[in-house]
Every structure is written in structure tokens, then in C-alpha cells.
Structure 1
Amino acid sequence: MARLIEPSRDKLDQLLTPLTDGERMVIDLFDQKLPAEWEIYVQPHLNGLRPDIVLLHPDVGIGVFEIKDWNLAAMEYYAKDDGAGHCVLMGRDKNGRAFSRQADNPINKILLYEDELLHLYCPRLDHRAGAAVITAGLIFPCSPRKEVARVFRRFRLAHDGMREHPRYYPIAGAEDVSSGALEVLFPESGRRSSRVMSDAVAEDLRGWLKEPFFSQEQRRPLELDARQLELTTTRTVKGYRRIKGPAGSGKSAVLAARASRLAAEGKHSLVVSFNITLLNYLRDLAVRHDATRRVIRRQIDFLNFHGWCKRVCLDTGHAEDYDRLWASSSDGQELESGWVLREGLPSLMRRLYSENASRDTMPQYDAVLVDEGQDFRPSWWQTLRLALKQGGEMVLVADKTQNIYGTAGAWTEEAMANAGFRGPWIELKSSHRLPPAVVPLVGRFAKEFLQDEEIDIPQVEQGQKQLEFEGPVELRWLHVRARPNALDACDSELRRMMQGLATDTAVPDITFLSGADLGRRFVEMQSDKGIHLLHTFDADQRTAQRQKRAFFQGAALVKATTPQSFKGWEARHLIVFVASVERPEAKALLYTALTRLRRHKHGSCLTVVSCCDELQTYGQSWPAYEEF
């Protein structure tokens, strides 16, 4: 049988952290010497820990290794008491200067790996006997084993397991790697079976080891159909284009690809969205098209409207005008709504561009492209037009069905005409994202609960490509009878989803969407259980804003955010919590959340956890309905 190595050998040179020579030697050794049933995971994500190598055999056990290309002869390494009863790793250079290396102490790292493997990533592994199937080893390909043993002797003696069961904590040196001494690097490799290890335990762990789907996808070119490709390679005579379409029709992909094409031509573009997190997603899409990452960083500015206004003020020496504007607001806070954003900022921008019209001081772009345009106010669009160079182009993409802020109604035909547009909208009608089984469910939701809104329901894509990507999809509705049990229901669903991942996805591919209150409690609950989440739920508004700027799907963590912040994104494993749909915007928000599911030939899954009695009948129409 062929051995599983992940990433595959042809992808190892594309790792974000390049492999060292020593790591390559060890990978080759394990590949040559171990039986084919041993799976090899190189720099696996593992909830953000990223050990160098993890080995997995479903019938035998687990090995986790830290590989250090340190030359222990280059400086003096030694152990020292810190005065509080602990031993710390120290270094002393040739000038006699001593400094701590404790933060890099590989003993601490392998003990952490072992502990989390036993207590977090393998929940079906017996905690008392499970330690016997886990090897946590150190490998130093550039230093003699005797020298490695000397440096780390005190640390090993201080740990009961290392002292009493050294077989499970091997230390290997340069001579062991060069001679291929597998029995020294990994003594347990000779074992053929285990009473404790099982396929179920292995499957639990694989979800944490596999490279997330989104990270894999970032290495692939952006796929566009003929209509989408036409929109990325052309412009209108006057330069103004508006595109509408339902969720999943490829609007964001078209916009990002157009920006990438313009960047490759040397043109400077501004890409704008309402929410901050969407900008990260658009940037990831853009780098998968024409321009390189370096060119995109240089030629495209990704900003939300508020951020662009702030940049203009600061870059042109008008910071005081900007600060006075916020100080004049009722609360002085940089909120995403209110008078300052509705009227204050547009008015300030118009004044600055008018006063400096004859100077070359105000930023100008070859193109301005706006995503999720239904969230924009016409006054913002008119303000952005001031930054367009003569003969430039502007693109607006929108889906009025996702009217979560109640702003889409402002885009009347009169407002559109005054915004520079002529002729009808360009329409993208087919959903390239949604699994076919989801389309009638979201369509029925829109017809039942969005009756007073302009509705643009996705259509199932026809043809061979649709059949090719029609993978299995799991759709569940979990109705919570008692609201106090909602948090436990969400936690239970996360655990269930972790154990039922698609074959090519990992735990970090799971996304949890909810309001801020339950979201914060959910993050705290998972943190208490050792699961680290990439989230945007901090109670401090400024910290939450920073979290939104750092929200990337490629991060090796479970994602948790609000449906507002996930607008425009997509996920293959999705949990949505809904507490109430009393207001029209709340209904539109749930519609937006339901349409974030990404289809794939290897499968996807969506669970809605609901406390809304109003939605119970609708939920009962889903393929799987349960009560909690």
C-alpha cells in the first residue's frame, strides 16, 4: 500500500515554514524505514501547536517529534535552577554572555504535545492506558546524542514519565539519523498492535492533523466560468458596472479577480467592503488569480469605508478634522453606524476633495471596486467616486436578499442613475457555492420569512460541472426546547462535527456563527476545554476590531464569529446558532448564514441550533431534525 504523507512530497517545498535539512533527513528516514501503514504528517496544524512531525498508525499508536538542527557545540547549553524550584535551559555565547533559551526548550514542547494528544485531540483514548500508545521524542540531526543527553539530562530526571519510561520519550542525535537507527529515534515503531489504539482514535486525531481545506485551496488557481471570466477581463465604455446575484453566484470572486487582473497590468485599485473580515477573504481570492502576492500588496488597497476615510485624513494631514468629527458624535466611539458614518464622514471627504481639487495630494485610483454593495449607502458610493481617476472604472456587486443592515432600500433606480450607472444590472443567477440540497431550503426560508424584501433566490447550476461537484451534504436542525441549554447544544454539535469531518477537511475547517453574547460564552467554554478558537467576540470593542482584522480562514484554529462578519465568506463545516428572528434584519441575517455553506465533491455539513419556536415548523422540514 502507498504511504500517506501530508502534505504530499510534491507540496513540502510550499510549506509556510521551510523545512530544515535535518527535518528532510528525518522525513526520508521515517518514509524509508517505517511500515507503510504509518502515516506521516509534516508540520501539522494541531490546534496551532505545529509540531515538526506526527506519526500515526491506527492499530499501533502515535509518535510526535520535535526536530532541532541546533549545533550544541556552537555555544554552551546548560540547565540552571531559577530559584523557584524550576529548571530552565540557558545558553552562553563565546563572549561569556548568558541568556535564557527556556522559551525554545524542546522538552517543554514535546510534553505539551503529549498532554494535548492524550487529553484533547483523542477523546476516545483511555486516559489511564492511553499514554502507552504515545511517543514524544527529540531528534537533533546536527549534534551527537551524548551531547544532547547531557544538555537535557536534568529536565528528563525532573519528569516522572521521562525518568521511569524513557522508551516513550526517546532522544536521538546526529549519528542515529545518519545511520538510520529507527530503533533509537522511535523505539515503539517495532510494535505491531495495541489494545488501546483504534481506528476511532486515529480518526479523531486526523481531524487535527490534516491540512485545512482552505489552506489547500489557497495553492490552487481561482476557478471562474466563462461568464465570470468575461467580467474580469472587460470593462464598460464609461467604466461603471453593477453586478447582482444570489448568494454563492461568484460575485466576490469576480470582483477579486478583476482587481488582481488590474494589479497585474500595473493599475492601482481600491477594494472596499462594509465589514472588515471580508477584506481578508477578498485578498485571499485575489492572490489566486493573475497577480502575485507581492504585486497585490503594492497595487491594491483593501479597506472598509470607514478605514479608507480615516486613511485619507491621516495621509493628507487632516487627522484633527477626523478626530473632531468623532468627538462631536454622541458617544465618541468609532461605531459602525450612526450619524458620523451616515453623514459626517461623507461630508468631510467631499470637503477635503473639493478644497484640494487643484493639488496632487488626495489619493486617486484607477479602479474602485465595492463588494456587498447592498450594505453601502449611496452617499458612500458618491464619496468613493471622488477618488476615481479620469477614465477609471467602478464596480458595484450586491445581493439585496442579504439586507442585514436595512440599507438596501436606499438604492432606488433614481439613486442608481445618479451614481453613474446606465442600463440594467448584470446578473449572475446560478449558485456555484451552495450544495443543491440546500437551495430549496434557503429558497423556502426566503419566501416564508423575507416576504417584504427584494428576493434573489439561488438557482441550481445545471450541467456536467454541477454533477461533478454534487458531493454528500449533511443538513441538521437542532431545536433547543429550553433557552438555558443553548450553549450546551452548540458544544455538543461541535464535538459531533469534529468526529464526522469530510475526508479532506480538518477541525480548523469548522466555523461557528452566533450573536456576540452566546459567542463569547462559547469561546470561553472551548478555551476551558483546551480548544483555541480564532474569534471576533472580545467584549472590548477595540480588541474585537483587531480580531476582525486578523480573521483569516487559513488559520489553524476553529473559527467563531458573527454572521455579519462572515458575510461573503464560505465554509464546508458550519454551525449556526439563532436566538431570535423577531426583526426583519435578523431574518435576513439568518438567510445570510444559511447561504455560507460551501459544496464539495467530498462533502459538507450544516447544523442550525435554534431557540426560536417561530422557526420550529420550518426546521422540521430539514433532512435531519432533532430536539435538545
Structure 2
Amino acid sequence: MAQIHPDFYTIQHLHQPATEGELILLDFLQKNLNMEFEIYYHPFINGDRPNIVILKKGCGAIIISVNDWDLTDYAINDDLDWWNNSTSTKVQSPFSQINYYKENLVSLHISTFLEKKMNKWYYSNIIYTLVYFHKMSQDNIEKFIHENISKEDNKNKFLKDIKYIQYWGYDSLTLQNLEEYFSKIRIEQPSFLFDEDIYNNFKRYLKPPFHQLEEGINIKYTKAQAELIRSESRPRRKIKGIAGSGKTLVLAKRAVNAYLRTNSEILILTFNLSLKNYIRDKINDVRESYPWEKFYITNYHQFIKSEANNYNLPIKGLKSYTDINFFEPVKNHIKKYKAIFIDEVQDYQTEWLEIITKYFLYEDSEFVVFGDEKQNIYRRPLDENKEPIIKTIAGNWNKSLNASKRFTSEIGKLAMKFQHHFLENKYTIDNMVVLDNPMLDFEQRNIKYANIGAKASTERIFNIYKGTCKKYCLNPADITILSGTADILREIEYSIRTQLKENTTTTFETKEEYDKSELETKSKNNFEERINTIRRYRRNHFSIKTGTVKLSSIHSFKGWESHTVFLIIEPHKSDSIQDFESVELIYTAITRAQVNLFILNMGNEKYDSFFNDNIQN
């Protein structure tokens, strides 16, 4: 018999009981598969919740969706959209849902998978998909498809879209069908593609580890932090903190305390996808015992996409993310949380917060947001006090986090001068206190500035970087290079890899990936989609603990910190839709540096006189 996680007894006594179809299929699979197969029921794959995943080491994986729809209640229109006839609402098809699960495993969740797929397209063939319609026979499924898709072109397109998805009815659960399916997909034959690395990455998501108390570290919280880390039932708090004041430190400890208080899953949301790993690192530092599966950390857009897919709701463009009634059709089925924490709340639209509290938060539960309006890089509207608008939380902001240990006093002073010069008319200026940080006491400290002109080549920037590293004996593991966009960084990253023969960590595509995508895609939309897929993947797996130089857009590095920062300020582009050198963005970049800050200005006159006056080279 196959291994099943969790065991049948646990599955039958879960808070949310398994459906009849799930239990029948699990029983069938366990009895007919041998011990080499691992069956995972409702694994939580960072937001995605497929019904069943089957794993066979060295061979491959199968994602299974169990569907209890009576297809006679549904229809498919000429655009191949699925509709629920009884509610007259558009729904996501079971085939689209399972494709989303697979694409996220390949292009987002599983480390190294996307690179392997880009080099060898057939890598995605080691993950198979199956939809089980528990209330329909195999013949009735076929009948539904052919009766609802009459146009030959549509039928061909639909069959092409589901070509690699197996679908079964309730009468398909026979040993013969199972053996024929396994023979077709060759799941029982060893595959060099499904190597130890990919298998272990699968297991990390399907069966997360338990964090032991000894894995944490002793953290000395300030008085202000100690007052904010206590988890409480029913509070709604908004906490403001300056850069480096320990907002994420407080969030991490309070989130762990919330788990210890409620013994339930904790939801932590950010705006920046790459920041999830920084929060995870901070939670890992907390000296307590807890299961990692109890912490769901992601960014807002990924959260909404995953939840929509889990409940078969189609995303209709950007408007779906701000539609405060989007989840209304499934409101009685949504999984809710007893504690939700939001970092970078200054980047959130007010509608997002309404959606979170309306559909995902239990009444009288803990809801705490953290922010700093000086890092308002998306220029969200502020209230009359020049503070972020948080309609879902009444009262004043807690402003006790005004002391920073992140950076040296020199960087702190520069940040405060920048606030007074550029931000005084837009925001309330911080009363910043820079605390002594013993870890920085014996460090060589450098703040340097140069205006290299708008026509400076990436080769010149690379040579300045190389010369600076040599002059100040900088370790690549301590360095982060930041800029408003990836265009310049991509060329510099290429030079670091090819000329210095050093590995890198980035939040964007390599030059080779960019050029290859241009050659292989047939349209601008396809090209942008591929580049965005690579960037989502890189941000999702970004970490500063790689021992290599890091390169990132300022947007994707917001919330992180780095020993040494090279900041490239790009020329002002009046025709650009987005402002990639706004004062909020430059302030955010400056406050990422802990010890060394090297600023290269590509002829942006807005900042030249300020940095010349305030940095002694």
C-alpha cells in the first residue's frame, strides 16, 4: 500500500472534513499503489491547495483535482468560458485550475525548476495532471464537452489546451484504468529529469519541517519592540516605524506568538514578493518551537491569485484585485484566519485591506499592519496627517519604533538630511534615533558619491564597481547593487559573471535569458509574459544569504538590508509612465545600506547638488 500523508484517521477528523469524492479516491489510490508512492492530501504549497499530490522518487509527480460538480449545471460559451447556470456567474474551469497549480510548481514554487525548463522544455513533462469528476461518469464528461463546444475550431482549441490533462469519472476508478494511465505517463519508470534536487524541493513544500527552539537565536528587544510583540485577541493595530527600526523583527515575533496563542495558521502579507524570504528568515530567528506549515507568507497579488484559483474564480484583469465583492460567490467556503499581519502597508490600496478583512479574517481576530509612509514608492493617497489611509483600523498609529539599529550614524544622518530636503512638504519628518550596533562598531565606513553623467556606459559603471571593491577590500557576499530598473543591472550582472567569474543573485533575468526570450517569443505580449515569469520566480526565491553579490531593482529590495550598497540613480525620463528615480525610491535605497554606501548618479540633476553638499568624498 502507498504512503499517505496525513494518515486516514487524521484526514477523517480534520476541522474541514474530506469530501466523499476525496475519500473514495484516496482509498482507491492507497490500495492500488505500492509503498514507493507518496500520497499527499490537501498539501499547502505556499497558497496553492490541490486536493491530492502523488510523488514517486526518481520518477515524477501527479497533481489531482477532485471535482464534485454536476456538469449539467454548467455551460461553456463560444469564448470557452465556463458558466454556472444556477448562479449565472462565470467560473474557472477545473482544467484551468489544475493547470495553474502545475504552472506555479514549475515557474514559481520549486527552486531551480524554471531554469531547467527554460534550457530543456520537456522538464515540465515530469509533472502530470488529472481531474477526477466524482459525480460524473466518463461518458457523461465526454458528452458535456461535445455538446457544449459545437464549433470545430473551438473544440480543437479546447482539446489542445487539455491535451496533457487526464480526466476521470466515477466509473474510471479501476485497476486497469490506473495501470493504463501510469503506462501512458511512464510514472513508474525512472527519470533522470526528476532528480534528487527537484524531489527534495517538492518534499520541502509537501511536508514542511518543524522549527525547533534551538534553531532560533537570543534576541534583545528594545522596550518599544517588547511592548508590540505580544499577541492579543481582537486588536486591530497600525504600527509605524522608521527604516531599520525592527518592524519586521516585531512582526516575526508577534506572528509566532499569535500561533502559540491560537494554535492556528497565521497569514502574513507583503507587497514585495521577494520580502517573504526576509520575513521567513526573521521568523526562523525566533527562539520557539513551531511547525513551518502554520505560516503562510506571500504578497497580496499572489495571495489573491491563489485564493481565486482555489475557489474556481476567474481573475478578470487588475480590477479583480480591487473588487471588494470579488469573493462574494464563495464567501461561505473561504478559509479564514485568527491572525493576519501586513508589512509594507503604505503600498496597499484601501480596497485590498477591505477585501482581506471582509473575507479572510475571523471577526474579533488579530489584525496588525506595519508601514513607513516615507517609503511610499507607489504614491498611495495619505490622510490629513500625511499618513497612510487604513479604513479598516480606527485610531492613531503607534509611532514608538523611532530608533534604528540597521545602519551607522553616518548613513542615519544622511537619511535624515534627505528627508528634510526632499520629503518635508509631503510627509511628517521622523524623529530618528540611531542606536549603537556592536556588530557595526569595527567596520570601515564609507559614503561616496559621483555624478558620472547620463551617457555613462554600463562598462564604465562596472569598472567603477570593480575598482571600488578592490580599493576598499569589499567582499562580494556583502554587496548589493540597486537601481530603478533592471536594464542597467542586467548588463552589469553579465560583466560580473563573465569577467570576474563570480556567481550572482538577482531579482530579474540574465542577459542570456533576455536575449533568448526575444528570439523565441512571437509577440511583445509573449515576451513580456516570459520575462515577468522569470522575475516572479527570481523574486520568490531571492535571498541575501547566498554568499554572492546581489543585484536588484529598488522596488524588489524594499524591506531588505545590505552591508554595502551601490546605488545607481538613473537619468530622469520625462516620457516614462513610471518614475524610477522618485524621492521615495531613492530614500528607500539609501536606507537599505548598513555600513557602506556608494552612489553613482547618471546625470540626474534633481539629486546632484544635495549629494555634493552632504557627502564628503
Q: 1: CA distance between counterparts of 2:583 and 2:390?
A: 30
Offset, 1:229: 1.9
Contact 1:275 1:564 in 2 (8 A): yes
Q: CA deviation at 1:608?
A: 0.6
SS of residue paired to 2:296:
strand
Task: Tell me the TM-score normalized by structure 1.
Answer: 0.55
Most deviating of 476-485 and 577-586: 577-586
Offset of residue 490 of structure 1 = 4.1
**Cα gap change, 1:248 to 1:258, in 2 (>3 Å):** same
What number of residue pairs does the alignment pair up?
Answer: 377
Q: 1:511 aligns with which of 480, 490, 493?
A: 480
Name 1:536's counterpart in structure 2.
Answer: 507
User: Which residue of structure 2 aligns with residue 446 of structure 1?
Assistant: 419
Aligned amino acid, residue 605 of structure 2 = D
Query: Which is greater in Rg?
Result: 1
Paired residues for 1:564-579 under 5 Å:
564-579=555-570
Aligned residue for 1:381? 353
Correspondence for 1:607 among 573, 585, 598: 598
Structure 1 gaps, min length 5? 1-98, 105-217, 327-339, 599-603
TM-score (norm 2): 0.56
The answer to whether the Cα contact below 8 Å between 1:241 and 1:396 also exists between their aligned partners in 2 is: yes
For residue 581 of structure 1, report the CA deviation from its aligned partner: 5.5
Match of 1:66 in 2: none
- CA 1:518/1:424 → structure 2, altered by over 3 Å: closer, same or farther? closer
**Inter-partner Cα distance in structure 2 for 1:387 and 1:228:** 27
Structure 1 residue 366 corresponds to structure 2 residue 338? yes
The correspondence for 2:584, drawn from 579, 584, 588, is 588
- What is the SS of the residue equivalent to 1:447? helix
Which whole-Å deviations, capped at 9, do the CAs of 1:150-188 have from their partners, x for residues lacking one?
xxxxxxxxxxxxxxxxxxxxxxxxxxxxxxxxxxxxxxx
Q: CA RMSD in A?
A: 3.1
Report the equivalent of 1:47: none
Aligned residue for 2:117? none
Distance 1:414-1:488 versus aligned 2 partners, 3 A rule:
closer
1:391 aligns with 2:383: no
The one-letter code of the counterpart of 2:498 is: D
Alpha carbons 1:400, 1:456 under 8 Å: kept: no
User: Does residue 227 of the first structure (1) align with residue 198 of the second (2)?
Assistant: no
Deviation string for 1:74-101 (max 9, x for gaps)?
A: xxxxxxxxxxxxxxxxxxxxxxxxx99x
SS in 2 for 1:555: coil
Corresponding position of 2:181: none
> Following superposition of structure 1 onto structure 2, how do residues 53-452 of structure 1 map, counting pairs within 5 Å?
220-235=217-232, 238-265=234-261, 266-292=263-289, 295=291, 297-318=292-313, 321-322=314-315, 325-326=316-317, 340=318, 343-347=319-323, 350-352=325-327, 354-357=328-331, 359=332, 361-385=333-357, 386-409=359-382, 416=389, 418-452=391-425
Q: Match of 1:228, as an amino acid?
A: Q
Aligned-partner Cα distance in 2 for 1:585–1:396: 27
Contact 2:448 2:616 in 1 (8 A): yes
Q: 2:387 & 2:377 partners in 1: Cα distance?
A: 22
The one of 523, 528, 543 aligned to 2:493: 523
Q: Aligned with 1:580: secondary structure? A: coil
Structure-1 separation of matches of 2:267 and 2:424: 35
SS at match of 1:287: helix
Percent of paired sites with the same residue: 21
Cα pair 1:378 1:415 within 8 Å, conserved: no
**Corresponding letter in the other structure for 2:311:** T
1:408 deviates by 4.5
Mapped to 2, the partners of 1:290 and 1:422 lie a distance apart of 32
Aligned-partner residue type, residue 376 of structure 1: Y
Q: Which residue in 2 is equivalent to 1:616?
A: 608
- Give the deviation of 1:494 after TM superposition: 4.1
**CA offsets, 1:498-531, max 9 Å, x none?**
56347xxx42121111121101111122122122
What residue in structure 1 maps to residue 593 of structure 2?
A: 597
The verdict on how the C-alpha distance between 1:414 and 1:402 changes in structure 2, with shifts beyond 3 A counting, is closer
How far apart are 1:256 and its partner, in Å? 1.6
Counterpart CA distance in 1 for 2:228 and 2:367 is 13
Provide, for residues 398-419 of structure 1, a one-character-per-residue CA deviation record: whole Å limited to 9, x for no partner: 1111111111537979985731
Shift of 1:432: 1.9
The one-letter amino acid of 1:531's match is: E
Residues 460 and 425 of structure 1, relative CA distance in 2, 3 Å threshold? closer
Q: Is contact 2:253-2:286 (8 Å) kept?
A: yes
Alpha-carbon distance in 2 for matches of 1:500, 1:525: 20
Q: Are residues 498 and 220 of structure 1, via their aligned partners in 2, closer, same or farther at CA, if it must alter by over 3 Å?
A: farther
Gap regions ≥5 residues in structure 2: 1-190, 197-214, 515-530, 574-578
Matched residue type, 2:347? D
Separation of aligned partners in 2, 1:593 and 1:426:
22
* CA displacement 1:184-232 (0-9 Å, x = unmatched): xxxxxxxxxxxxxxxxxxxxxxxxxxxxxxxxxx974444212212211
User: For residues 220 and 415 of structure 1, do their structure 2 counterparts lie closer, same or farther at Cα, with a shift above 3 Å needed?
Assistant: closer
